Structure 1
Amino acid sequence: MTALPPSAQLEIDALYRAHHGWLHGWLRRKLGCAHRASDLAHDTFMRLLAREEPVEAREPRALLTTVAQRVLYNHWRREQVERAYLEALAYMPEALAPSPEDQAVLLETLCEIDRLLDGLPVIVKRAFLLAQLDGATHTEIAATLGISLATVKRHLVRAAAQCFFAL
């Protein structure tokens, strides 16, 4: 994270002092949990601090709502990925289940993959995940998804390019 100029730091400080309580209440109503609301309010201001350009908020609550909605969306997506991962773990024999530490690393990796593939059509994501996580061949992917081999190759290139350029 680059250091913000003092004027931008003062602006975010003033924004925090004036609107943190309101933002926390807004998030609490959305989430139904004061603790999560506190975490996401914190994440919202961290996003503002991570910006490289000044905030210059003419409508501070509109800005905070927009940033907080993105944070909230990411929170819900992470919960969705975590639920799917835990469901998959439930089907795994206990003797083969990864350790809690490995589970945490795997979950972080899955969330990062999900973030990198965000915005791609579902079929492109599925083709990529079949190839990368399941080790499926192009022919197996084509048969599983009911698409041609050429389409599989196009989808894999598209997903790989998205991941590459996102990094």
Structure 2
Amino acid sequence: MNTAVSPDSLSTLYREHHGWLRDWLRRRLPCGDLAADLAHDTFLRLLTQAEPTVPEQPRAFLTTIAQRVLASHFRRHYLEQAWLEALARQPELAAPSEETRALWLEALCQIDRLLGTLPPLVRRAFLLSQLDGLSHAQVAAELGISIATVKRHIVKAGALFYFADLARAP
């Protein structure tokens, strides 16, 4: 059974398991500094949970959180690499400033996070329509669903992005 977190219990959890977690991450990453950063990020996620708890099996619990932190790290890394490759193909005069690059990368990460919250079929319909430029009929044929369902899926995804305020972000 998990119990509510007090500052002392979290401090004890950190003291007793941080080194182990950092080593666990180090075996999965090419860089010790990155492992240390992600170990701290794991504890940060624990701190920022709506109702932080101290688990009965702390290492299993920390491993689960660390795996999510790792997945987020690699997802961001792959997005950044794809973005940098796309930028490298641009003519030098069209290359954006470092600040603009950072803003676009953050927007891409936010879009990726939002897409991850959609059900797979809704996400696929939206991407086929918006990225691949398929018509509603083509999306319906590709996914084996009705055109009306395609429209509902695209509206659902569009509403998610609209209310996320991406269009008005800098």
Q: Which runs of 5+ in 1 are unaligned?
A: 131-135
Q: TM-score, normalised by structure 1?
A: 0.79
Q: Which runs of 5+ in 2 are unaligned?
A: 141-146, 166-170
| Fraction of identical pairs, as percent | 51
CA contact (8 A) 1:44 1:64 kept: yes
The match for 1:95 among 93, 96, 114 is 93
In structure 2, how many angstroms separate the alpha carbons of the residues matched to 1:33 and 1:67? 19
Cα pair distance change 1:56/1:128, threshold 3 Å: farther
Q: How many residues align?
A: 153
- State the match for 1:117 in structure 2: 115
The match for 1:81 among 79, 82, 98 is 79
The match for 2:134 among 136, 141, 144 is 141
Q: TM-score, normalised by structure 2?
A: 0.78
CA contact (8 A) 2:10 2:54 kept: no
CA contact (8 A) 2:129 2:135 kept: no
CA contact (8 A) 2:55 2:61 kept: yes
Amino acid at match of 2:40: H
What are the Cα deviations for residues 56-86 of structure 1, in whole angstroms up to 9, with x where unaligned?
A: 3100001100110010010010011111111
- State the match for 1:133 in structure 2: none
Q: Could you say which structure has the higher helix fraction? A: 1
Superposed CA RMSD? 2.7
What are the Cα deviations for residues 15-58 of structure 1, in whole angstroms up to 9, with x where unaligned?
A: 10000000000000011210110110010010111123131310
